[in-house]
Amino acid sequence: MKNLLIDTTFKRVLNFLRTRSMWIYNGVFGCGCAEMMNALNNVYALERYGIKTVFDPAKADIMIAGGAISIKALPLLIDAYESMAEPRWVISAGACAINGGIFTANGCIISSIADFIPVDITIDGCPPSFDVIIEALFKLSQLIEKGEAVAYKRYILDNDWYKTNLSRVLEGDYE
């Protein structure tokens, strides 16, 4: 009983500390970049809350995947996700990342990033506004603190499914 209490308390403290040092890797393409840069600039001082942008995915905890993600850029985004240390979280930002947006019929844009990496939070919009992006970061922070943001575990359990989707899209057999 004592070990269980110590283990539970340690996990709660660890999750609390994780919410106070959330480092973001920006995997946003196309028009989503403008709103992402606006949300993560110094005007809103997100560093007060421990939210910081890094340019090396190996140092990041959170990936924001957004914009129109092309088939050529997809392997780079997946490599960046795989180089992140666990636990790692993903926010899918914008209509293009969630369902392909207006570019679905294009053929060179993927229809959903959730088919290739597990997503914790989705943000609607074309592109989503900066205040919604900031709100999603705080919502993810709450999920992490409660221990409910565990989508990264699906990548380990369902790795074959994610890799099959990737090979299908690279071979041209993806819808």
124-141 pLDDT, tens per residue? 888 788 888 888 988 998
Upper half-sphere CA count for residue 146 (Cβ side, 13 Å):
8
pLDDT, tens digit (0-9, with 9 covering 90-100), for 54-83: 888 888 989 988 888 888 888 899 999 999
Q: Give the residue among 141, 145, 124, 137 at the shortest CA–CA distance from 32.
A: 124
Q: CA–CA separation, 56 vs 162, rounded Å?
A: 23
Contact in structure between 26 and 61 (CB atoms under 8 Å):
no
Radius of gyration, CA atoms only, the chain: 17
Q: Average pLDDT per run of 10 along the chain, which is 175 residues long?
A: 64 77 81 70 73 86 86 89 90 84 78 90 84 87 87 89 87 61
Helix axes 32-39, 130-146, angle to 10 degrees: 70
Choices 3.40.50.12280, 3.40.50.1100, 2.30.40.10, 1.10.730.10: CATH for 2-171: 3.40.50.12280
